[in-house]
């Protein structure tokens, strides 16, 4: 039996790497500005995320999380740390005009953003 949690986990693990019939992934300009190598690392961290707790996932839907990535800046020889939030929004269909009443059968959009863009 499918659950919202199972669908969200399956969606999150693949949508950043290949087209998905049930939705898409988008990133904010702040995330995009980090460059493709850092974005690939962020995608991997989000796909592998499993640290859901009652505090960060009170409804058990696995539709929000955060990851932290540290990147060496070769220009300054210092590490840059970025906290990245991700969330899944639910829509009735791919037109994304209306929120979904049925999360189980919704069109999903995985939104990836820097914490300061939230």
Of residues 56, 28, 8, 9, the one with CA closest to residue 115: 28
Q: Per the structure, how many domains does the chain have?
A: 1
**Tens digits of residue pLDDT in 42-66:** 999 999 999 999 999 999 999 999 9
Range of the domain at 22: 4-117
pLDDT > 70? residue 1: no
pLDDT > 90? residue 40: yes
- Residue 105 phi, psi (nearest 5): -110, 30
Cβ–Cβ under 8 Å, residues 98 and 106: no
Strand ordering across the sheet containing 78-91: 23-27, 107-114, 78-91, 64-73
- Distance between CA 100 and CA 113 in Å, rounded? 22
pTM of this prediction? Answer: 0.92
């Amino acid at each position: 039996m499918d659950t919202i949690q199972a669908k969200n986990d399956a969606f999150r693990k693949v949508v950043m790497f290949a087209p998905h019939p049930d939705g898409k992934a988008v990133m904010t300009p702040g995330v995009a500005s980090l460059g493709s190598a850092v974005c690939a690392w962020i995608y991997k961290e989000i796909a592998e995320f499993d640290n859901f707790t009652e505090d960060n996932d009170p409804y058990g839907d696995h539709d929000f999380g955060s990851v932290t990535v540290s990147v060496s800046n070769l220009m300054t020889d210092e590490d840059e740390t970025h906290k990245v939030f991700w969330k899944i929004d639910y829509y009735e269909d791919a037109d994304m005009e209306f929120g979904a009443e049925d999360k189980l059968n919704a069109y999903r959009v995985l939104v990836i953003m820097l914490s300061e863009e939230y």
